[in-house]
Amino acid sequence: MLEIKKELTQNPKKKPAKGDKLGFGNIYTDHMLIIDWTEGKGWHDARIVPYAPLSIDPAAMVLHYAMESFEGLKAYRTADGSVQLFRPEKNAARMINTNKRMCLPYLEVEDFVQAVKEIVKVEKDWVPSDEGTSLYIRPFVFADEPHLGVRTATSHKFIIICSPVGAYYESGLDPVKIYVEDEYVRATPGGTGFTKCGGNYAGSLAGQVKAHDLGYEQVLWLDGVERKYVEEVGSMNCFFKIDGTIYTAPCVGTVLPGVTRMSCIELLKKWGYKVSEDRLAITDLIQAYKDGKLEEVFGTGTAAVISPVGELRYEDEVCKINDGKIGEVTQKLYDTITGIQWGKLPDDMNWITKI
């Protein structure tokens, strides 16, 4: 159990009004939660304080060596006005795995979930209520020790900030166009691909820019060794329905183990679909398309929940999937997961934590 001190703001900001366009990551709430970690002492001084810029030493190790990790989850407002979280203990467990790999200190699962609940409780009125909106919660850890030698740090901070975010889709599920990247790679075995560490995202931007320049919205990464097997998309895991079977890349160190991915697999298995986590070669995927067997492609992640893929390009091959329309399984997963998240469907998977 953390003991969290609270210092509430004297100058609350104006909250967005009903109907305002929120976008993603544009607005921050009135408070943030901070916990310090120092060597020998561990975590201490947990506090909720007014949201404000941090004062940080220019020699802080995070600024030089990217000693940082983060998580992302949401709080949802239900029809009766209450607020709830979706599987926060899975984010907590994932941050432990990330931070072990990155030599960063981590909070135990119960403490992480408690911290998330406490900040959301304080910011409850910031959880928006328009259809499809939510409060995005961003926990992160970084090395703030001023030091220029490369080694593990003796001082870190854990912080949570919150941002009210808009509906990802303004008018129905909008299929995305995806470019299969065959030059840059995102992750290799033994590396940090399974972690949410800032460096992974910095390194992915060149591929993202290239895809944009070619008229595509996102990159589908191939494995970093052979550039042969499909892995994942930008900040989403990727699923392919081929001849009735649903494929997604295995979590063997190079793919981010998404909470949405895990939830989709659990639902698909419950519904009786065949799910394969065997590696899938891009050439087999293209062949399945040519044979008319590539039925659906979709990405999964907390931000979009489910994102149908309408077009895939690999080298000079362009695949138009399901006539650019949303597939049946894609739609069913979207309806079920969002239904549970916003409390419109019963939580029969036991995924919800009430605030």
Ligand X SMILES: *Cc1c(COP(=O)(O)O)cnc(C)c1O
- The owner of tokens 């320049």 is 213
Tell me if residue 93 falls in helix, strand or coil: helix
Task: Name the maximum alpha-carbon separation found in the chain.
Answer: 64
Q: Where are the alpha helices (DSSP H) in the chain?
A: 61-65, 88-101, 109-122, 198-213, 259-270, 282-290, 328-341
- Which residue number places its CB atom closest to ligand X? 258
Give rounded-to-5 percent helix, strand, coil for the chain. Answer: 25, 30, 45
CB of 109 to ligand X, least distance (A): 15
Cα separations in angstroms, 305 against 40, 175, 258, 298, 338: 40, 13, 11, 10, 7
| Binding-residue total with ligand X (CB under 6 A) | 14
Beta bridge partners of 306: 300
Pick the closer one to ligand X by CB: 49 or 109: 109
CB of 246 to ligand X, least distance (A): 16
Does residue 302 interact with ligand X by CB under 6 A?
yes
CB of 168 to ligand X, least distance (A): 12
> Does 341 help bind ligand X (rule: CB under 6 A)?
no
Question: Which of these ranges, 38-46, 144-152, 233-241, 318-326, lies near ligand X under the rule CB under 6 A?
Answer: 233-241
> DSSP of 251-293, one letter per residue?
-SSSS---HHHHHHHHHHHHTT-EEE-S--BHHHHHHHHHTT-
Minimum distance from residue 338 beta carbon to ligand X (Å)? 13
Binding status of residue 175 toward ligand X by CB under 6 A: no
Rank residues 133 and 195 by Cβ distance to ligand X and give the closer one.
195
Instruction: Identify residue 123 by its one-letter amino acid code.
Output: E
Token pair for 245 = 């079977």
Instruction: Determine the interface stretch with ligand X among 36-44, 95-103, 107-115, 235-243 (rule: CB under 6 A).
Output: 235-243
Ramachandran class of 234: left when φ > 0, alpha when ψ lies in -120 to 50, beta otherwise: left
Spatial CA neighbour of 198 closest among 54, 301, 65: 65
State in angstroms the smallest separation of the CB of 252 from ligand X.
Answer: 14
Query: Binding string, 190-229, against ligand X, x = CB under 6 A?
Result: ------x---------------------------------
One-letter identity of residue 345: L
Task: Give the range of 50-58, 251-259, 270-278, 347-355 binding ligand X by CB under 6 A.
Answer: 251-259
Nearest approach, Cβ of residue 59 and ligand X (Å): 28
309 touches 217 (CB < 8 A): no
Contact 329, 297 (CB under 8 A): no
CB closer to ligand X, 127 vs 249: 249
Q: For residue 185, what are the contacts with CB-CB under 8 A and spacing of at least 6?
A: 221, 222, 223, 224, 227
**Binding to ligand X in span 253-282, by CB under 6 A:** 256, 258-261
74 scored as a contact of ligand X (CB under 6 A): no
For ligand X, the closer of residues 48 and 268 by Cβ is: 268
Residue list 97-156, contact with ligand X (CB under 6 A): none
| Binding track over 25-64 against ligand X, x by CB under 6 A | ----------------------------------------
Stretch that binds ligand X, among 61-69, 154-162, 298-306, 321-329 (CB under 6 A): 298-306
* Cβ proximity to ligand X, 134 vs 300, nearer residue: 300
Contact between 301 and ligand X per CB under 6 A: yes
Q: How many Å separate Cα 226 from the centre of its chain?
A: 26
Q: Is 336 near ligand X (CB under 6 A)?
A: no
Q: Which is nearer to ligand X, 54 or 202 (CB)?
A: 202
- The label of the residue with tokens 């060597």 reads 39
Rg (CA), the chain: 21
User: Where on the chain is the footprint of ligand X (CB under 6 A)?
Assistant: 72, 196, 232, 235-237, 256, 258-261, 300-302
